[in-house]
Structure 1
Amino acid sequence: MSDIAPVDALLVVDVQSAFFEGQEAIPYADAVKIQIAALIARARLTGAFVAHLQNDGEQGAVDEPGTDGWQLLLPVQPGPREAVVRKATDDGFDGTELNSLLVERGVHALAIGGAQSEMCVLATARTALDHGYRVVLPHDAHGTYDIPPAPGDTEGVPAKQASRVAEWALGDEVEVIAHAKEVEFRAIDPGVS
């Protein structure tokens, strides 16, 4: 039994081919994907809600809608307990039905995993906090790219450190935990109003 209180939902942020496959994948993509797949499996088994956020990149971007890079990598089981939410900005709540889906299902607490830690994961987590959701962020279930040096005499930032800084930037409202296996789920009422 984990010391972390159970959550009602899982937000899977941008687990798309462009960011998790090939030479352009985030470092540790396979490890992150394994953790997220395990979270999805446990959420489904428990009856929690799963939202797969899918970024619609601009024309010519690696995640442009309809391209190979835009495709979700982990299978979706659409229904009252699972949905795909397409987004056009870093924030999964901005201009989408995500908040309505969560409210309709009585979600109060959620876990977030995916890519990129300092962009879409951070922006979505911050807005979730602003909406009053309890947010759990498992460190091994999100990732990003190495940050190159800035112009001048600076050093780059390795991906794992960039992910940790993104967690830190969320302040003490977010519950950062080391491992996705510590996340416990509880069932939601799939009936929608």
Structure 2
Amino acid sequence: MTPHGVPVEALLVVDVQSAAVLGDRAVPEAARLVDRTADLIARARRSGALVVHIQNDGAPGTGDEAHTPGWELHHPVEAGPTEVVIRKTEDDGFDGTALGGLLTDSGIRALAICGVMSEMCVQATARTALALGHRVVMPHDAHATHDIPAAPGISDAIPAAVVSRVAEWALGSGIEVVAHAADVVFTVPPGRH
């Protein structure tokens, strides 16, 4: 980390959709998550870094079923050459989408990932980004999930904060976890001004 933060060239905002942050299905501390992701988006925009909103097309009957209120992205999108929406149907934001090509074509080497759910879509997307050779930064306070309910004979309930931390840990030594979204600094990739 530099004295002024950890530099990245892109921000992936994973599944910050209404069903995940509003109402009775919202992740614990949804207001904190929304605040941190909004800050990351605003700072990325100001710097000219690439912002990718990843939107899950949930199955029929789920909270994020495509084209329902819960499916809507929570943060407004300023669509343009440096801000796009990529829709997906799998946990991994790269699976069956144009995300890999977009990052390569944009010259992205380092990116930050935030959003929901820590142990599912955020982790799956981060794992593929690492496998593709990207430097991946995960701000601890900018991703979230739900508690895991107790499983009789297996475990007590597991608090969401623990699940999120384990999701980071399970990514191994290649991931760069920083404590706060404020620790992320956005830059423009070389050759793009």
Q: TM-score, normalised by structure 1?
A: 0.95
Whole-Å separation in 2 of the counterparts to 1:7 and 1:70: 28
Give, in whole Å, the separation in 1 of the partners of 2:167 and 2:161. 10
User: Match for residue 186 of structure 1?
Assistant: 187
For normalisation by structure 2, the TM-score amounts to 0.95
Q: Quote the offset at 1:116 in angstroms.
A: 0.2
Contact 2:118/2:145 (<8 A) preserved = yes
Is 1:52 equivalent to 2:53 in the alignment?
A: yes
Confirm or deny: 8 A CA contact 1:21 1:29 kept in the other structure: yes
When the two chains are superposed, the root-mean-square deviation of aligned CA atoms in Å is 1.3
Gap runs ≥5 in structure 2? none
For 2:150 and 2:18, how far apart are their aligned partners in 1? 26
Matched residues in 2 for 1:16 and 1:71: separation?
A: 5
Query: What is the identity percentage for the equivalent residue pairs of Structure 1 and Structure 2?
Result: 57
Give the AA of the match of 1:23: D
Deviations 1:125-169 (A, max 9, x none): 000000000000000000000001123252111000100000000
Cα deviation 1:82-111 (Å, max 9, x = unaligned): 000000000000000011111111000000
Question: Unpaired segments of 5 or more residues in structure 1?
Answer: none
The size of the alignment, in residue pairs, is: 191
Provide closer, same or farther for how the CA distance between residues 37 and 2 of structure 1 changes in structure 2, counting only shifts above 3 A.
Answer: farther
Report if the CA contact (8 A) 1:17-1:70 is conserved.
yes
CA distance in 1, matches of 2:3, 2:83: 24
Structure 2 SS opposite 1:162 = helix
Which SS does the other structure have where 1:75 is aligned?
coil
CA 1:74–1:148 in 2, change beyond 3 Å: closer, same or farther? same
